[in-house]
């Protein structure tokens, strides 16, 4: 939920609540005042009535012309003075009209009478409803105005926050652009911006340091390896070295080369992780496949692997060029390496959204879900580094491609598919 929506909602709930309370209490207060007034007048009329009766000693209903306002009837039971609301049929209009009535006992000519004086409430009710409606309308307008004002000011007030949020969301450590958030008038936002500026600056410098460290470490490793390799090549030229020692020297050389390849592969993984292969282009994967098939053709033919490339459609994906090369090359090498010792085959199927490598081979010795992890080797004795598929996986991850593995009927199938999202 948006901050704005949340505040608005809160505002509406609270203002409705206040609105109802104010309306009810206002209504009750006005009504109370009106009753007070009516009752007071009734008391005055009671006094007038008593005065009249005391002076004249009789009562005639006719003396009041306008309305059936005073009713007098004889009764033997004496009751206290009582106010009450009542509905009476109007004299001309045949509908009930609200009245306020005061009832009291009065002795007229030695006989006890119960006297009720009534006063129509109709004009007071009208007054009450007019006051209530006006009050409701004014209150409603007030609240609405306040709401609009609140919304506007909060929008303006939170503007720097939304700006900072948008910039922070856009921030990409790989682009290396610092987050530059301007100074704000409001202290909190100013602090927030300053904190964000400082934080991203730190992230950038840490990232840069890490990047440089990884690359430098990797290059520093390559140089002594080159020195080892050079010396080994020098040594094997020496005819006085025994065959056994030559073998040892060869082993040293092979290990050095392996270390170098390992270092190289790990560097690539780190570079991908660090997002140093950001510039992606639309790459025609069919062409990349053809290129690598051409390069590997000799090896494939030599191993008597039957290669079939089925290009039903063209598959273009947004990938970095070097990574696309690595992806296809690693998958192809993988298919060659883990093929049958004789009578092997590779089928490469390309559709507009997928690239699939299918080859027969022994079942996996590692669990399939671990296949794409680093240093997972099918055969521990081979010179394989166990990083090829980990690199493939990484490339897919950053290029919006899905990577799947299946094994059925003795066939390994690895497919690269465009992510549906």
Partner 1 sequence: MKVLVVEDERILAEGITDHLVKEGFVCEVVHTYAAAAQKIGLYKYDCIIVDINLPDGIGFDLIDALKRARSTAGIIVISARDAVEDKIRSLDLGSDDYLTKPFHLSELNARIRSIMRRRNYGGTNEIIFEEIKVNYATRTVFVNEEEVFLTKKEYDLLMYFIANKEIALTKASVAEHLWGDNVDTADSFDILYSHIKNLRKKLTEKGARDYIQTIYGIGYKFAKK
Contact 376, 385 (CB under 8 A): no
**Per CB under 8 A, which region of 49-57, 294-302, 348-356, 403-411 contacts partner 1?**
294-302
Among 269, 336, 340, 349, binds partner 1 (CB under 8 A): 336
* CB-count exposure of residue 212 (10 Å: 0-12, 13-18, 19+): exposed
Among 226, 362, 366, 411, binds partner 1 (CB under 8 A): 226
Residue 234 interacts with partner 1 (CB under 8 A): yes or no: yes
Among 57, 98, 383, 410, binds partner 1 (CB under 8 A): 383
- Please state the closest distance from residue 227 (CB atom) to partner 1, in A: 4
Specify the residue, 181 or 346, whose C-beta has the smaller distance to partner 1. 346
Specify the residue, 160 or 388, whose C-beta has the smaller distance to partner 1. 388
Specify the residue, 182 or 383, whose C-beta has the smaller distance to partner 1. 383
Specify the residue, 187 or 279, whose C-beta has the smaller distance to partner 1. 279
Contact 371, 415 (CB under 8 A): no
Cα–Cα distance for residue pair 319/399, rounded to 1 Å: 6
Site string for partner 1, 199-218 (x = CB under 8 A): ----------------x--x
Residue 382 interacts with partner 1 (CB under 8 A): yes or no: yes
Residues 126-165 that bind partner 1 (CB under 8 A): none
Residue 233 interacts with partner 1 (CB under 8 A): yes or no: yes
Residue 302 interacts with partner 1 (CB under 8 A): yes or no: yes
Among 48, 295, 310, 379, binds partner 1 (CB under 8 A): 295
Contact 86, 71 (CB under 8 A): no
- Please state the closest distance from residue 372 (CB atom) to partner 1, in A: 19
Residue 82 interacts with partner 1 (CB under 8 A): yes or no: no
Specify the residue, 237 or 421, whose C-beta has the smaller distance to partner 1. 237
Residue 298 interacts with partner 1 (CB under 8 A): yes or no: yes
- Please state the closest distance from residue 175 (CB atom) to partner 1, in A: 17
Residue 270 interacts with partner 1 (CB under 8 A): yes or no: no
Among 108, 236, 252, 364, binds partner 1 (CB under 8 A): 236
Among 205, 208, 230, 255, binds partner 1 (CB under 8 A): 230
Residue 231 interacts with partner 1 (CB under 8 A): yes or no: yes
**Per CB under 8 A, which region of 37-45, 130-138, 283-291, 331-339 contacts partner 1?**
331-339
- Please state the closest distance from residue 291 (CB atom) to partner 1, in A: 12
Cα–Cα distance for residue pair 49/302, rounded to 1 Å: 132
- Chain contacts with partner 1 (rule: CB under 8 A): 215, 218-220, 222-231, 233-234, 236-237, 243, 246-247, 250, 253-254, 256-257, 260-261, 264, 267, 295-296, 298-299, 302-303, 322, 329, 333, 336-337, 382-383
């Amino acid at each position: 939920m948006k901050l704005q929506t949340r505040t608005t909602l809160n505002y509406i709930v609270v203002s409705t609540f206040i609105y109802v309370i104010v309306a009810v209490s206002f209504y009750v207060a006005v009504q109370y005042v009106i009753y007070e007034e009516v009752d007071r007048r009734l008391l005055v009329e009671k006094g007038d009535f008593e005065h009249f009766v005391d002076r004249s000693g009789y009562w005639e209903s006719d003396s009041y012309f306008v309305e059936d306002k005073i009713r007098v009837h004889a009764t033997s039971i004496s009751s206290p003075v009582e106010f009450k609301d009542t509905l009476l049929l109007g004299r001309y209009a045949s509908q009930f009209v609200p009245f306020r009535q005061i009832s009291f006992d009065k002795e007229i000519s030695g006989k006890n009478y119960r006297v009720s004086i009534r006063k129509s409430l109709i004009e007071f009710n009208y007054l009450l409803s007019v006051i209530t409606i006006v009050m409701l309308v004014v209150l409603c307008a007030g609240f609405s105005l306040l709401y609009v004002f609140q919304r506007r000011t909060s929008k303006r007030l939170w503007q720097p926050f939304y700006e900072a949020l948008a910039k922070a969301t856009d921030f990409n450590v790989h682009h290396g652009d610092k987050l530059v958030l301007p100074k704000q008038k409001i202290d909190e936002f100013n602090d927030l911006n300053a904190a964000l500026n400082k934080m991203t600056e730190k992230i950038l410098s840490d990232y840069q340091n890490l990047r440089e460290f990884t690359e430098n470490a990797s290059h520093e490793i390559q140089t002594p390896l080159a020195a080892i390799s050079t010396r080994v090549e020098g040594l094997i030229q020496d005819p006085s070295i025994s065959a056994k020692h030559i073998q040892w020297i060869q082993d040293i050389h092979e290990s050095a080369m392996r270390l170098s390849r390992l270092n190289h592969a790990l560097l690539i993984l780190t570079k991908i992780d660090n997002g140093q292969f950001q510039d992606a282009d639309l790459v025609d994967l069919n062409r990349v496949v053809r290129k690598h098939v051409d390069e590997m053709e000799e090896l494939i033919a030599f191993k008597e692997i039957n290669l079939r490339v089925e290009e039903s459609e063209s598959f273009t994906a947004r990938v970095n060029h070097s990574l696309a090369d690595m992806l296809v090359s690693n998958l192809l090498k993988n298919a060659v390496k883990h093929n049958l010792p004789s009578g092997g085959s590779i089928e490469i199927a390309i559709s507009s959204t997928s690239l699939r490598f299918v080859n027969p081979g022994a079942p996996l010795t590692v669990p399939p879900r671990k296949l794409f992890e680093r240093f997972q080797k099918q055969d521990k004795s081979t010179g394989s580094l166990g990083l090829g598929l980990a690199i493939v996986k990484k490339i897919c991850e950053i290029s919006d491609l899905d990577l799947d593995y299946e094994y059925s009927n003795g066939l390994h199938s690895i497919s690269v598919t465009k992510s549906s999202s």
